[in-house]
Structures are given as C-alpha cells and as structure tokens.
C-alpha cells in the first residue's frame, strides 16, 4: 500500500442563513481551487451581530486534501 500525505488548511465560511450553509460555502469555494478534498472539521462557530440580531453565521474549519508535489507524485 502506497503512503499518502495530506495538507490541512484553515478556512472561514460565512452565511446569513445558518452555520451549515457557512460550512458548505467554505468547502464549495475551496473545492474550486483545491483537488481531492478529504475531510472538513469544524473547529469554531460564532455569530456576527448587528443591532442585537444575527447578521452572519461564521464557521472556522480545517480542510484536508491530498498533497501532491509538482512532479505529480
């Protein structure tokens, strides 16, 4: 079995609808520039408030993807 290496990046997604949508937005955007996404782990959730009301749901997550060197390995 061949060994694999994965890189982990931290992202913040936002949504005016929900934490779930904020996380999905971050993953969807990351998938447009990163290949072979594997796992996303939510590490923080918070809210941006305005005038005593929720303005944005924010999710910080760590996303892993398979690391490939430039030679294609």
Per-residue pLDDT band at 15 (split at 50, 70, 90): very high
Alpha helices in the chain (DSSP H): 19-31
Q: Which two tokens stand for residue 36?
A: 């072979």
What is the pLDDT averaged over residues 55-69?
91
Exposure string for 1-25, b = 16+ CB within 10 A, e = fewer: eeeeeeeeeebebebeeebeebbbb
CATH superfamily of 6-66: Flavin-binding protein dodecin (3.30.1660.10)
What is the pLDDT averaged over residues 56-66?
95
pTM for this predicted structure: 0.81
pLDDT at 2: 74
3-state SS assignment for residue 7: strand
For the chain, domain boundaries? 6-66
């Amino acid at each position: 079995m061949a060994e694999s290496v994965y890189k982990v990046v931290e992202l913040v997604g936002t949504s005016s609808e929900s934490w779930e949508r904020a996380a999905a937005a971050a993953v969807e955007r990351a998938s447009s520039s990163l290949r072979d996404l594997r796992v996303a782990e939510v590490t923080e959730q918070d809210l941006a408030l305005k005038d005593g009301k929720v303005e944005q749901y924010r999710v910080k997550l760590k996303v892993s993807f398979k690391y490939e060197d430039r030679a294609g390995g």
